[in-house]
Amino acid sequence: MRIGIIGGTGGIGEGIALRLSPFHTVVIGSRETEKAEICCRECEEILQGRGFSCSLIGKTNQEAVDFADFLILAIPYKFLVPTLKELTGLDGKVVVSPVNPLEKTGEFFLFAPPPEGSAAMLAKKLLPSSAKLVVAFNNIAANRWRDLENPLEYSVAVCGDDANAKRQVIELTGTIPNLKPLDAGPLGVAPLVESVTPLLLNLGKFNRLKDVGVRFV
């Protein structure tokens, strides 16, 4: 599977690349090719140091779109609109959104969705109608993705309106050891999935817990 990570040089994008590239060909996308290539080399060194082979390529975000048929939007919410507006060739692609609209008010975090109701629904508005949008990976902290010393013993809520695309995302998630993908329903469930992240941040802050996640058993 050819996977493109848009904004792949950030913490979450880099972490996802570390977890997926031993099993799939991963293109780390960035606005600057050099930055993406440096990130690839750093990830390769980390993985090879742990005895893993990997397949990583550093390109621009647009080149990642052109290369891959499966894309992950590893970008902060504030960059969602400008990033999607500058990309072309997304027709027919599976697009995964782990984007969470949140803001910090005083001492705590709040879910702060756009008028569309969720980051996912805003993305859907900006994507070509043939793109297949799926929500996944929203509730795992960047530090956990990058911490290869420890398995990701979390549940991943996956929602989307295209059954085949959702199945592919569930299968992809299942290739990462210990992650447990769960079908959360249609794309309309996205606000519930996205709003869990500010809750986790608040739980971590007020209970002195680090990188809180979710596991359904």
| pLDDT above 90 (res 106) | no
Average pLDDT for 142-150: 93
| pLDDT above 90 (res 154) | yes
Identity of the residue numbered 126: L
**159 with 124: CB under 8 angstroms?**
no
- What domains sit in the chain, N to C, each tagged with a CATH number? 2-207 (3.40.50.720)
Q: Per-residue confidence at 19, pLDDT binned at 50, 70, 90?
A: very high
Q: What totals of helices (H) and strands (E) does the chain contain, helices first?
A: 8, 10
**19 with 144: CB under 8 angstroms?**
no
Average pLDDT for 55-82: 96
Strand partners, 57: 27
| pLDDT above 90 (res 1) | no
From 208, 189, 192, 211, select the one nearest 200 (Cα to Cα).
211
Collapse the DSSP code of 41 into the 3-class scheme (helix H, G, I; strand E, B; otherwise coil) and give the result: helix
In this prediction, residue 217 carries a pLDDT of: 86
